[in-house]
Amino acid sequence: MDALKTVLAVDDEPNMRRLLEISLRQAGYRALVAEDGKQALHLINTQNVDCVVSDLHMPGMNGLALLGQIRQVSERLPFIMVTAQGEVKTAVEAMKLGASDYIQRPFELETLELAISKALTNNRIVLENTFLKADQQPAENGLIGQSKAMLVLKQMIQQVAPEKATVLITGETGTGKELIAKALHAASPRKNALFVAVNCAAIPADILESELFGHEKGAFTGAVKERVGKFELADGGTLFLDELTEMPIHLQAKLLRVLQEGVVEKLGGNRQIALDIRVVAATNRDPQQAVKDGKLREDLYYRLNVFQLNSPALRDRDEDIALLSQYFLNKRSTSLSAEALGCLSAYRWPGNVRELENVLERAAILSGGKAITPAHLPADIVGAATPAMAATFNALEHTAEHEHAYSIPHATAQLERQLIEAALRECKGNKAKAAKLLEISERSLWYKLEQYEMK
């Protein structure tokens, strides 16, 4: 899935250059040739080169000198030295200077292809390992929830995941937009390549450009070595741009150009690096309003909004609170009482899933490993439960069967049933009014009546 790799062959013999050029093209590479070190350096500085194959003996600047010059500007460009028989000592010196490999004349073309393939693979592994060490995040179990909103979202993810189309994810802060992006990546043909996430709001504007596009050594004060940008790092995989509307407008223009042309240029350089990536962007703003407010370029919005996914707020899928609570508390081996679950279900969750996780973490600490009760929850969450609901929770707490007393799925079913009964009594059997009181659709109420055999 990677973009076509470019290999530069450096040799002062015209026939050997021609042979290498033909062989590299047949092997599936874009081939560049240079007759000496000076010409090679010019090509490296003006074009994107993924690997260099150089003869040792050349007039003016030999292979070792060329390798030394390259290492001054790039520590990671793969370099394969071609030596004559019996020059093992020189080959060892080349490896000490940073050569990826060496091959001896005369050589089979298969030997050269294998050396190039190995050098490119090793270079990619080193790059990915560096990223994973710096940006390693805890593994997640994916998207949790069986509500209608989540089932629709999961279905849409499966539909768009195999495509290369850009995706724009909208939704409030804390709803799990990055998890949606990760689910897209995991279900796509790119799943074995990197998923690279960039929070555009968390990185200062003067650093963000270098973070995204990379920079050459000496591009600005403090640029003491070459930096690989997140775009280049995500080659073959997925780049996730979170909080896109916080990106400065001038960078949005550069982002648009990258998306349209499929190439990126590092700061301080003019080499065009061809990329094969999928871009997924996210924002907690209404994107159309962001365009009107000057926070998002209109042309970039239309370029990104090929396929839009909405991350539902937790209050719009409150039937998933039990599953989410169970998932978070399983990490801490802590249980949740039915009364506490009732309080969580009644709360509106302005901070969404992230707020729920933080509340449960705090409650688990306060409970000391015992079952979480309303006493361990913040006052505003406990206060969200109406007196009628509180009575229902107390009744549920005392009537639950012992073996199910702290079973979240069982408690949820019991809670829903008793809340529906209480609402119907309050509304004197009027199902439309009861549905409004319960803050669900009348259709959902009819479904639950049938589910609990309450007709």
Q: From CA 185, how far away is CA 41, in angstroms rounded?
A: 38
Lowest mean per-residue pLDDT among 104-108, 196-200, 276-280: 104-108
Domain that holds residue 414: 315-451
Per the domain annotation, does 381 fall within a domain? yes
The confidence band for 455, taking pLDDT boundaries of 50, 70 and 90, is low
Q: Which of 289, 312, 335 is the last residue of a domain?
A: 312
Residues 154 and 301 in one domain: yes
Q: Which of 101, 133, 165 is the last residue of a domain?
A: 133
Rg (CA), the chain: 30
Helices 321-330, 408-426: axis angle to 10 degrees equals: 150
Per the domain annotation, does 231 fall within a domain? yes
Per the domain annotation, does 230 fall within a domain? yes
Q: What is the CATH number of the domain that holds 52?
A: 3.40.50.2300
pLDDT tens for residues 184-224?
999 999 998 899 999 999 998 888 999 999 888 777 777 76
pLDDT tens for residues 324-370?
998 899 888 888 888 888 889 889 999 999 999 999 999 999 998 88
Average pLDDT for 53-59: 91
Global model pTM greater than 0.85:
no
Residues 212 and 238 in one domain: yes
Average pLDDT for 393-414: 55
The confidence band for 21, taking pLDDT boundaries of 50, 70 and 90, is very high
Non-local (6+) Cβ contacts of 155 within 8 A are: none
Residues 114-130 as b/e (b if ≥16 CB within 10 A, e otherwise) read ebbeebbeebbeebeee
Helices 88-96, 63-73: axis angle to 10 degrees equals: 10
Using an 8 Å Cβ cutoff, are 253 and 297 in contact?
yes
Q: From CA 170, how far away is CA 355, in angstroms rounded?
A: 18
pLDDT recorded at residue 342 = 85
Lowest mean per-residue pLDDT among 231-235, 252-256, 391-395: 391-395
Residues 163 and 286 in one domain: yes
| Res. 404: pLDDT tops 90 | no
Residues 182 and 103 in one domain: no
Percent helix, strand, coil in the chain, to 5, is: 50, 15, 35
The confidence band for 46, taking pLDDT boundaries of 50, 70 and 90, is confident
Q: How many CA atoms lie within 13 A of 239 on its CB side?
A: 25
| Res. 265: pLDDT tops 50 | yes
Residues 65 and 127 in one domain: yes
Beta strands in 272-430 (DSSP E): 273-274, 278-283, 307-311
The confidence band for 401, taking pLDDT boundaries of 50, 70 and 90, is very low
Residues 80 and 31 in one domain: yes
| Res. 176: pLDDT tops 90 | yes
Tell me the two tokens of residue 58.
């050349």
Average pLDDT for 47-76: 89
pLDDT recorded at residue 162 = 94
Q: From CA 294, how far away is CA 304, in angstroms rounded?
A: 16
pLDDT tens for residues 190-199?
998 899 999 9
Using an 8 Å Cβ cutoff, are 240 and 198 in contact?
yes
Per the domain annotation, does 425 fall within a domain? yes
Helices 63-73, 37-46: axis angle to 10 degrees equals: 20
Question: Across all residues in the chain, what is the average pLDDT?
Answer: 85
Average pLDDT for 37-49: 90
Per the domain annotation, does 172 fall within a domain? yes
Angstrom distances, CA of residue 432 to CA of 149, 246, 421, 445: 21, 43, 14, 9
| Res. 140: pLDDT tops 70 | no
Three-state DSSP class for residue 427: coil
